[in-house]
Structure 1
C-alpha cells in the first residue's frame, strides 16, 4: 500500500508539482495503477460436447445466466483380497531361493532346533528319509549331498506350483495326525476361483478376488457409477456418503476416502436447456473415492432410480460403460 501511495505522489509531482491533488484524483490514480499491474486471468476452455462441437464462448452479458449442474459420483471399490498369481519365472525363482537358503544359511545340526528323542526330532528324521530334506514344501532335495549345487528347478517338475506345494503340505499334516493319534480333520484351503467366478455372478463381492472391483449401477440413462446432484450447501464428502446410502442402502460398511475428488468430468449438452431463467450448459461431475469393508448393496427402496448393480473389474467396466464415460474415469482406476 505504501508503494502505491509513493507512485501516486510521484506521478502527481511530475505532472503538476505546484498544484495539489484531491482525494478523488488520488483514488483514481491508485485504481489505474492496480489495474495495469494485475495479470490477466486465464479462463479454462469449455470441454467439447458429446456431438464433438464445442459450445460458443460466453460473453459478459451471458455469463450471469449460464450455469452447470454439480454432481457427486462415488467410485466405491473393494480392494484385492488375494495376492496376484505368480508368473512361471517367479515361481521357479522363489523355489530356487528356498533351496539356496537351505543349503547355505541353515548348516546347523538338527539338535540345534530339536531336543533328541522329541516329537520334533522324530518328524525331522522322517522327512530326511522320505525326501532328503527337513523342509516341508520343496520336494526331494539333498542340500548337503554331492548334488547340493543342483538346486534349480528341473524341466517338467511341478514342485514350484502352489497347488503341488499345497498337496505336499496336506500329506505332511495327515501323516503327523496319524502318527500322533489325533482325530483332527485336516482342512483344505479355500480355492482361488470361487463359485461366483464359476457361475458368473456379477452381483457377488466374492468374485475376482485378485482384482479391485467397483460398484456400477444401471439407471434409465445407462450404466455408470452412483451419482447425484449436490444439494444446497452440501460438501462433496457429505454428498458421497448420501449417494452411497441412497443407492445401496444402509447395510454396507463404507468409508469415503478424503474430502477432495480424485477426478472430474465436464459433460456439455448438445443443446443448452432453460431452468428458472438460467441456461444449463451441462454437468460437472466430481468423482469421490470410497471403500467397502463389509455388507452388500440392496436396491430395495433406493432413491436414485437404480435398476441393477454389478461389481466389476477395470476391464469389465470398460466393456460396460459408453466410450465418453470410460474416457473420463480410465486414468483414475488402478490397473489391479
Structure 2
C-alpha cells in the first residue's frame, strides 16, 4: 500500500530530466531543506477563500499527478491505484511520480518542480516533511496548479486541501486503546514509526503520548520511539533492537504499514511470539497471516484505495472551480458521496476500521 503504468514510467523519465535542471538551479542558489521552510514562512501562498462555484461543471481532460512518499510501497500502490481509477473515471489523465526512498525530501522537491514545469492541473502529494516542499508547492500554486496533500500533510499555507485518512486524534488514541486492552493496561511499550520527520506519524504519536497521560494508563510506560524509515529491513532491525534493549517489553505500536509488517515478521519467528503484543496501522493482506498464526491480535487502518480516490476527486473539484479549499465548502466525490471541508482546509475520509480474526477475511487490500 507494484508496478507502475507505461504513462507513469514515461513521466518518471521526463521528471528525471526536468528534475536534474531543477536541482542544478537550486544548488546554484544554495537552497536547502531549511531554507525552503524559511522561504515559505516569509511568503506563503494566499489562504483559500470562499470564492468557488459548487454548481460549476466537472472539467474533463485534466492532468492529475500523484506524488506518494515513495513508489513501490504497497500502501501507496493501493492508494494511488484508487486515485488512478477515480481520475480516469472522471475523464482525466493520471500520472504518478516519486522517489524510491521515503526520506528523500530533495527528490520530492525536484518532482514537484518538474510537474509544475509540465503544467499539470493538480498534484496530490504525501509529504515526507512538513516544510521542505513548501517553496516548491507554493510556486506550483502560483502557476495555477491545485495542490492536495493526502496521507501526510505539509504546512497549511503550502496546499489547498489536506485529505486525511481519519481524525488524527482518533488514530493516535485508538492505537493506545488497542494496545492497552492487549497488555491488560500494564507494562513497557515502544513505538516503531516511519521517518522521524513524517508529519502524520508525529501527529499520531503526539496523541498517543497524550492518551497515555490518562489515569487508566498509569501502569503503562512508553520507553522509546524507534524509526524504521518505512523500510522493511530497517524496521525489522529496529524491532530486533527494541527487544534486545528492552527484553521485558510488553508491546509495540507501529503506525506504519511497512513497520507493522516487518515487526510482525520478526516476532513471528522469535521467542517473543504471542508474548509481545503488536498493533498499529496495517493492511489486511499484509497482516492476515500474522493474525491467523497468533502473532497479532488486532490492528487498524482505513481503506487506502478510498483515500487515493478521495484525493483524486478533491483535486478535480479544485481544478474545476467547485471548491477553493475554504472551510465549510461541500462537494461530491463520485460515488463516495458528499464531503465537507473542515478546519485548516482538511477533509476526513472516515473512522478507522479494526481488523482481527473475526473480520479480516472480509477484506482484500
TM-score range for the pair, normalised by the shorter chain length: under 0.3
Q: TM-score, normalised by structure 1?
A: 0.21
Q: TM-score, normalised by structure 2?
A: 0.20
Q: Which structure has the greater CA radius of gyration?
A: 1
Task: Report which of the two has the higher share of helix.
Answer: 2
**Which structure would you say has the larger RCO, counting Cα contacts within 8 Å and 6 or more residues apart?**
1
